[in-house]
Each structure stands twice: as structure tokens, then as C-alpha cells.
Homo-oligomer: A and B are copies of this chain.
Amino acid sequence: MEVGFLGLGIMGKAMAMNLLKNGFKVTVWNRTLAKCEELVEFGATIGDTPAAVVKKCNITVAILSDPSAALSVVFDKDGVLEQIGSGKGYIDMSTVDDDTSSKIHKAVTAKGGSFLEAPVSGSKKPAEDGQLVILAAGDEALYEEAIPAFDVLGKKSFFLGHVGNGAKMKLVVNMIMGSMMNAFSEGLVLAERSGLNPHALLDVLDLGGIANPMFRLKGPTMIQNNYSPAFPLKHQQKDMRLALALGDENAVSMPAAAAANEAFKKARSMELGDLDFSAVHEIVKIHKSSS
């Protein structure tokens, strides 16, 4: 199977490599050429421009760093739009907002192409291990066609309906995650101030019905006040805000998420926004002798 691949950042490189290792023919493009060359050793072909990649491949996957890069690759000169058309599919796996996704969707389908948004859950390690979770939405036939590639890239892929649903699903998951992180921080602080050993709390939690990888992974570093960013707090807060806005549109009252969001905002006001989102722990902890 032949696949075009646009964007070789941390995630993209690992994903393209996986496709190559699993026997896919991959034509890659990246804004800075050097990154492409590393993949040539493993059998990749280089495309000169996004348009050239789309011309050559029936399915092109993109994973760009942000909305403006995602738009630029499609709409700029030598971009995807110049070659997309009937019989060709474009799969954007970037995490972008509704608006961006919708613009690309409209432009691609106006040209006769088919489109899928497919943001992923998981970071560098799962990308390398082919253990991502893929939240696809848009053209179902394209989804079916892409399954062999998704099977290599992820441990599981979902088809969630019309364009926008992939992004919404990510928001819902991240909202639950953000509220859980607040609950967890409150528990850690309550334990410590009540004379319990927070490490014992971690052990007890990990043996019970709410044991989960996040508590297991973040708990020990939070106790050490170590918040090196895996998922920056300001992004978590942005997702809480967007999830609350989605709730507002649909008249869903979410007081727990709202309380968590305000704690993340307090953390931003303390200039913790670039740390890991577990740094909300610092807000729960603030008290006289620590300030």
C-alpha cells in the first residue's frame, strides 16, 4: 500500500517509520528537508512539495504541529489543494480546532477529494510503538481504506461520524482527565496535611478500583514537585475551556469541570502554564508556610 506522509515532527517521524517497517511504500515531505533524509535510509521516497506527494499517492496522511501549519500545507502554493481531487483521500491527524478542520474539509471535498480528521491520543512513545488511539471522523469509505495504515499506527482506531467528532471526543476525554487531576491533587494534599504518607496513598490507590496509569505515572513526580511538561497546563486549561464551551452550546451543566477549570486558571495566573498540567497540584498546595 502506498501512502503520502506530510510532517515529520516527533510524532510524524515515528509514525512514518512504523509504516515503512511494516511494508508500506511511503512518500514523505517535510518543511525542512533534512528530516526526510533520515527516512530515506529506511526506504522512503521524498516528495518535493505537498502537491507532489498528493499527486503521487491516493492516500496522504498529515500530522502538523498546529492549526496554521495544517492550513498552510493545504492552502499555500504547491499545497495539497493543487492536486487533491476525485479518487484521492486526505487524512489530517493533527490536533486542531473545529474551524481549521472544517475549512480543510470543505476545501478538499469541494475539489472532489475525500477527507478524514483523525487526531490521536498518545504521545511520542505510543507513536513509536504503534500504540496510538486514533479518533477518526469524516468520510467512512476513506476510513475503511485507511484501516491497514491505522492498524500499524495505533492499537485501536475509531470511526466517530461526521467531521468535528474526532476533536470533540478528545475534548471530552481531556475534560475528564483534567477533573481527575484536580481530584487527585486534592487527595494528595489532604493526605499530607492530615498526617498520612502520600506515598502510601499512591500505593493504596493503585490497588483499588480507581487505579489508573495517570495516577501511577504522575503521582511520584507530583510528590517531588516535579512537573516537567508532558502535556502543558495551558493546553489542558484550553481544552477544559473548550469542553465547557461545548457544554454551554448544548446546555450541559458541568460543575466539577468548571471548578477544575478555575483551578487551572489560577495555575496560569501563577505562571505555571508551561509546566505539566499536574502542576495544578501547586495551587491546591499553596498555604502560608509554603509561600
Contact = CB atoms under 8 A, between A and B. Distances in A.
A194 B212 contact: no
Interface string A7-22: 0000000000000000
Contacts of A156: 203, 207
A62 interface: no
A121 B207 contact: yes
A193 interface: yes
A174 B289 CA distance: 28
A158 interface: yes
Interface residues of A, number: 77
A95 to B, nearest CB: 14
B252 A160 contact: no
Given A183-B256, A187-B173, A251 B268 contact: yes
A179 B177 contact: no
Given A180-B183, A256-B259, 6 more contacts: A173-B187, A176-B183, A179-B183, A179-B256, A183-B256, A190-B247
Interface of A: 121-122, 133, 135, 155-156, 158, 160-161, 165, 168-169, 172-173, 175-177, 179-180, 182-184, 186-187, 189-191, 193-197, 200-201, 203-205, 207-214, 217, 241, 243, 246-263, 265-266, 268-271, 284, 286-288, 291
12 contacts: A122-B208, A133-B208, A160-B200, A173-B205, A175-B186, A179-B256, A193-B252, A210-B212, A212-B212, A252-B284, A256-B256, A270-B291
